[in-house]
Chain A
Amino acid sequence: MCDSDAVTPHDPATAARRQAVSVSVATGLYGVSFGALSVAAGLTVPQTMALSLLMFSGGSQFAFIGVIGAGGAAGAAVASAALLGARNGLYGAQLTPLLDLPWRWRGPAAHVTIDESTAVATAQPTRAAARVGFWWTGVGVLVLWNAFTLLGALAGDRLGDPRAYGLDAAAAAAFLALVWPRLAGRAAQGVAAAAVVVALVTTPVLPAGIPVLLAACVAVVVGVAVPPRPAPEVPA
């Protein structure tokens, strides 16, 4: 793997593969925190693994166990996970023309369409490199994310009181880390602040899980009603 003389240094496919491996390792590792938090939220180890294998989208998985852990209804957990998964649908629309895969590969490609595989694929200079980056990242994260989820779930099962280990704070930090790179721009920051206020104000009066969905409605209203950039009033 490290035989640098055997490959041309500027081969885009090799560079894509290297990038894919490092992203897969970094992403796969935090499957440990998902596994531990999931059993702390009250899911069994098989249920935790079902989420990592079938749902396979970090944000949706953390949202699902967050709502369940807070005592929310199953329906609210499903809705939160699906809404957070909506962006994966848009990734697919971006990837279809880029990868130009035959139909029989679109099912497997859809399963490994996540933030990381899309980011690596779209960053490559050629279609061949984009395909290498997409598959290596998607399959790499799938394998490592599930392996580390299992590790975390088995460890979390033996821990006892999750609060004593600060696992509730770890879940909050996980959400913060997921939203952090998306906070560039005024609209995103405004929506984030509004979502926090809506969630906290409505928590005492609404069933668990609903405040989070209500915050998503704020984003829909802002996204539909407010134009992306206000038109300049004076021509430059």
Chain B
Amino acid sequence: MTALWGAVLLAGLACLAIKLAGHVLPEHWLARPRVARVAALVTVALLSALVAVQTATSSGQVVLDARLPALAVAAVALALRAPFVVVVVLAAATAAGLRLLGMP
């Protein structure tokens, strides 16, 4: 539990320090196009990998279950420009419903 608290505080302070750096460092350090491009792609890669891990893995194994159809429903909702909360609730309801019907 204390290790998790340490990680929570360390990660929080790291994110805060990064925000502060943007406001106090000389602008030209961060205003390079390549820096902006790499940062944007890193964001995309991390979030995409998290989608994959959260959708299709359990305890270190690739697992296909009710989360996959739920993600498909979320994608349709996003394509229809549904708000964030609606997307998340629809995905949860889909997975919960399918599990009620016996899908793992």
A binds B: yes
Q: Interface on A for B, CB 8 Å cutoff?
A: 26-27, 29-30, 32-33, 42-44, 47, 50-51, 53-57, 59-60, 62-64, 66, 68, 70-71, 74-75, 77-78, 80-93, 95-97, 106-107, 109-111, 113, 163-180, 182-183, 187-188, 191-196, 198-200, 203-204, 208, 211-212, 214-216, 218-220, 222-224, 228
Are A169 and B20 also in contact (CB < 8 A) when A62-B50, A82-B14, A219-B42 are?
Answer: no
Q: Of A57, A59, A75, A174, which is in contact with the most chain B CB atoms at under 10 Å from its CB?
A: A174
Contacting residues of chain B (34-88) with chain A, CB-CB under 8 angstroms: 34-57, 59-62, 66-67, 70-71, 74-75, 78, 83-85, 87-88
Q: Could you say which of A27, A109, A172, A195 has the most chain B C-beta atoms within 10 Å of its C-beta?
A: A172
**In which size bucket is the chain B interface?**
35 or more
Do residues A166 and B44 form an inter-chain contact, with CB atoms below 8 A? no
Query: Quick one: given A47-B5, A57-B15, A110-B23, are A194 and B46 in contact (CB under 8 Å)?
Result: no
Which residues in A have their C-beta under 8 angstroms from that of B49?
195-196, 198-199, 211-212, 214-216
Contact B9 A54 (CB under 8 A): yes
Cα(A215)–Cα(B46), bound, Å: 6
Chain A's closest residue to B27 (CB) is A93
Residues of A within 8 A of B31 (CB): 93
Decide if B101 is an interface residue (CB 8 Å cutoff). no
Docked Cα-Cα span, A109 to B7, in Å, equals 24
Pairs A–B under 8 Å by Cβ, sample size 29? A43-B8, A55-B15, A55-B16, A63-B46, A68-B4, A70-B54, A80-B50, A85-B18, A87-B40, A87-B43, A88-B19, A89-B39, A93-B25, A97-B27, A106-B23, A110-B22, A113-B22, A165-B92, A172-B54, A173-B92, A182-B40, A183-B44, A187-B41, A191-B45, A196-B52, A200-B56, A216-B46, A219-B44, A228-B33
Given known A-B contacts A88-B18, A168-B54, A170-B91, A191 and B4 have beta carbons under 8 A apart: no
Closest A residue to B15 by CB, please name it: A85
Q: What are the residues of chain B within 8 A of A211 when measuring CB–CB?
A: 49, 53
